[in-house]
Amino acid sequence: MLLKAAKQHQPDSFLVQEPHGKDGKIVGIPKCWKSWLSKSGKAGIIALPTCSIPVALSEKENTIAIKITKNSKAFTIISSYSSPYPNFREILDELTDLTTNINGEEYLIGGDFNAHSQRWFYRDEDSRGKQLQEFIAEKHIFLLNSSDSSPTFEHNKRQGWPDLTMVCSHSLAAICEWDVLEEESYSDHKFVKICINSNISSLSFARFKTAHGGHCKFVNLFKSKVQALRNLISNSSNEEELNETTRTIQLEIHITCKQVYKIKRNPLIPNVTWWNRDLQIKKQELKALARRLQKSRGEDRIHYKIVLSKKELCSRKQSKEHHVDLGDCCAPTHKLPTELHTGQH
């Protein structure tokens, strides 16, 4: 579903909660996508190739943060997950530590907080909701959730709004669009699309194949441009002129690279041909068994654990027969990635 959503909405990144992970990495995504997980593995961020220079910032128990460049400025993206049962203060302390250490830079927080409050459309209010409201007020954070949105969570007859998105300032909130998508997510949680609109253009460049030589040719071609670029740097007397000079240098390097090197082709979303309806049904069965196992106790828990292990083993054997590693894809997940962050430049 992430591949389908990526093709349709062209996001820069996904904020995910309770993804299926293995060895500290999110599985089932293309190799050209970068991903990061919190220490618990419950919160994650996936950056697509269009995401502007993502760098891991902080990895905490329930929270993961990366830093990107937006409009030539640092911008922090934070993904969080809080189970309904542990101490809620712990995740608030993590968010406080993160937002304090980035020294006034812009940031966005997206997560599944499992907190009830009438402010985000629950009929009741619990202690977690009160604590989160106090955190929002103390940090002067702006909640993006729309007042007329449909529930972000639906399971049987239950529904709720546990998935919240917050930004650091009113000016940032003013250029954000937030929407709950009604398309199928194969999860109890729906996709949430966040779009940050910007009128400021940004530069993006192709990647070049530099492993096969050509460097002497690059140096010889670029030599003729060096003196003019030095003059531009010397004549830059303010921030605006320095920014323009920087862009000129980048463009000249890019133009010279195009004359020397071949462009590295890295497809954004590879075609997936092995996934089919039968595999999707098996995946849903495993997820249902995993939920029953989580809720059951005593002998029932032992029974579901045995059944789940047998079905997982069967799925892995079938995947080997077809020369496709479906273990990661058919293994149960509590919920698929549910939050979508896109940027327009």
CATH number for the domain including 161?
3.60.10.10
pLDDT at 330: 40
* pLDDT at residue 89 is higher than 90: yes
Chosen domain end from 258, 273, 288: 273
* pLDDT at residue 275 is higher than 80: no
What phi and psi values does residue 342 have, to the nearest 5 degrees? Answer: -125, 150
On whether residue 43 sits in a domain, the answer given is yes
Q: What is the mean pLDDT of the chain?
A: 84
The label of the residue with tokens 């934070």 reads 78
Q: Which DSSP helix (H) or strand (E) runs through 111? A: strand 106-112
On whether residue 231 sits in a domain, the answer given is yes
Asked if 86 and 104 sit in the same domain, the reply is yes
Burial group, residue 294, by CB count within 10 angstroms (0-12, 13-18, 19+): exposed
Q: Which residue has the higher pLDDT, 212 or 200?
A: 212
Tell me how far apart the alpha carbons of residues 247 and 252 are, in angstroms, rounded to a whole number: 9
Asked if 57 and 134 sit in the same domain, the reply is yes
Report pLDDT digits (tens) over 314-340.
777 666 555 444 444 444 344 444 445
Asked if 13 and 116 sit in the same domain, the reply is yes
pLDDT at 155: 85
Judged by DSSP in three states, 59 sits in strand
Asked if 118 and 246 sit in the same domain, the reply is no
On whether residue 308 sits in a domain, the answer given is yes
CB neighbours of residue 255 within 10 Å: 12
Asked if 81 and 158 sit in the same domain, the reply is yes
Asked if 286 and 268 sit in the same domain, the reply is no
Asked if 105 and 137 sit in the same domain, the reply is yes
pLDDT at 267: 57
Report pLDDT digits (tens) over 136-167.
999 999 999 987 788 999 888 888 999 999 99
Chosen domain end from 257, 273, 289: 273
Asked if 251 and 307 sit in the same domain, the reply is no
Range of the domain at 232: 204-273
Chosen domain end from 196, 217, 232: 196
Asked if 158 and 226 sit in the same domain, the reply is no
Asked if 164 and 64 sit in the same domain, the reply is yes
Asked if 6 and 82 sit in the same domain, the reply is yes
On whether residue 341 sits in a domain, the answer given is no
Tell me how far apart the alpha carbons of residues 113 and 164 are, in angstroms, rounded to a whole number: 7
* pLDDT at residue 283 is higher than 70: yes
Structural domain total, the chain? 3
pLDDT at 54: 92
pLDDT at 336: 42
Contacts of 180 (CB under 8 A, 6+ apart): 146, 149, 150, 151, 152, 190, 191, 192, 193
Residues 332 and 286: beta-carbon distance below 8 Å: yes
What phi and psi values does residue 294 have, to the nearest 5 degrees? Answer: -65, -35
Asked if 257 and 291 sit in the same domain, the reply is no
Tell me how far apart the alpha carbons of residues 248 and 302 are, in angstroms, rounded to a whole number: 66
What global pTM score does this model have? Answer: 0.61
On whether residue 338 sits in a domain, the answer given is no
